[in-house]
Amino acid sequence: MKLITVQDLAKIVQKHGFDNYMQDLVSYLKEDFVRWEQFDKSPRYVSHVPGGVMELMPTADKQYFSYKFVNGHPANPFDGKQTIVAVGQLAEIKYGFPILLSEMTALTGFRTAATAIVATEYLARKDSRVLAIIGTGSQSEFQTLAHKLVRPITTVRYFDIDPAAMDKFEKNMADKGFKLIRCQSAEEACAGADIITVCTACKLHAIVVKNEWIKPGVHINGLGGDSPGKTELEKSILFRGKVVVEFTEQSMVEGEIQQLTPEEVKQVLHAELWELINGSKVGRESDDEVTIYDSVGFAVEDFSVLRLTHDLAHKYGIGHDVDMIPPIKDPKNLYSILG
């Protein structure tokens, strides 16, 4: 079984190149989303704990089973710790054996950005040049760089309530070819934006983005409304245009649409993302419609990124081969491991 640490993952991405990695990840995601009906799917298991959530996100097709074990503790940065950390595993169905155990903190950043740009590809105007990022924490750089791969982004307007998070974002993005505009409020960041990515962390029904700031033609990627009692968009935004989610059953409990009644969900919900990819539903149809990708993160996204990591780890010979399965000749003689 391969073990992939954070350092191994960094080597894989450096060797493959960030843009190639993201483009391949988008291909893997589309390959998996297009055959959505072949996956075992269920809302994630969530344990609500003081200060946050602990979650297990499993899924399987006929070849692999995967899961991610992830937390979400919005106040962690006050203690110098990350909001989200994760590990995950990929196993072969044939014998049920694990083949990969990987860090998934960075992989979550990659797969969330890759899934968001798939939504952007189908929903944002083709001429989108100005990206707003509200919340310049861990996800923000991945989101920003990924968007450049699918839209001609020239300008990034950004805001965070923490000035140090904006300093960090500026430093990381300084040489990436964007015009960077630091804003004093979320409203200022949204002004003139074609795409608004909202990725703040706060465990409450916050109104980070107001309806009156959303101009016709804007696409919103809402990432931080991803847990019961945790939303970022003013409810009335959801009535402005097409709303797209990953997996309705989970999103109704965790996404922005948790603010709606089941009747209202029927009224506003346009599609699950896989339906845009397989062409059974259309994305944007006019330049002035508002579109909203209400993302909570779904297990198939973790499945795709684990599959890619497994393939690249073998291609480049990166990672550690570890005995997590007893190396015994007689499959019934487990006792022999004691020597």
Ligand X SMILES: NC(=O)c1ccc[n+]([C@@H]2O[C@H](COP(=O)([O-])OP(=O)(O)OC[C@H]3O[C@@H](n4cnc5c(N)ncnc54)[C@H](O)[C@@H]3O)[C@@H](O)[C@H]2O)c1
User: Helix, strand, coil % (nearest 5) of the chain?
Assistant: 40, 25, 35
Q: Is 193 exposed, middle or buried (0-12, 13-18, 19+ CB in 10 A)?
A: buried
Tell the smallest beta-carbon distance from residue 62 to ligand X (Å).
25
The phi and psi torsions of 76 (rounded to 5 degrees) equal -50, -40
Residues 274-333 that bind ligand X (CB under 6 A): 295-297
Tell the smallest beta-carbon distance from residue 306 to ligand X (Å).
15
Tell the smallest beta-carbon distance from residue 151 to ligand X (Å).
19
Choose between 11 and 203: whose C-beta lies nearer to ligand X. Answer: 203
**120 in Cβ contact with 150 (< 8 Å):** yes
The pattern of x and - marking residues 239 through 258 that bind ligand X according to CB under 6 A reads --------------------
Determine if 83 is a binding residue for ligand X (CB under 6 A): yes
194 an active-site residue? no
CA separation for the pair 299, 244 (Å, rounded): 17
Structure tokens at 2: 């391969």
Choose between 163 and 326: whose C-beta lies nearer to ligand X. Answer: 163
Tell the smallest beta-carbon distance from residue 134 to ligand X (Å).
5
The pattern of x and - marking residues 136 through 175 that bind ligand X according to CB under 6 A reads xxxx-------------------xxxx--x----------
Nearest to 311 by CA among 60, 27, 80, 42: 27
**29 in Cβ contact with 35 (< 8 Å):** no
CA separation for the pair 72, 46 (Å, rounded): 10
Residue indicated by tokens 């200022």: 188
Position of minimal CB gap to ligand X: 137
CA 7-73-247 angle, to 5 degrees, is: 85
Which residue among 60, 206, 252, 253 contacts ligand X (CB under 6 A)?
206
Choose between 43 and 77: whose C-beta lies nearer to ligand X. Answer: 77
Catalytic-labelled residue, pool 32, 160, 226, 294:
226
Active site residues: 226
Residues near ligand X, by CB under 6 A: 72, 77, 83-84, 108, 112, 134-139, 159-162, 165, 186, 199-202, 206, 208, 223-224, 226, 295-297
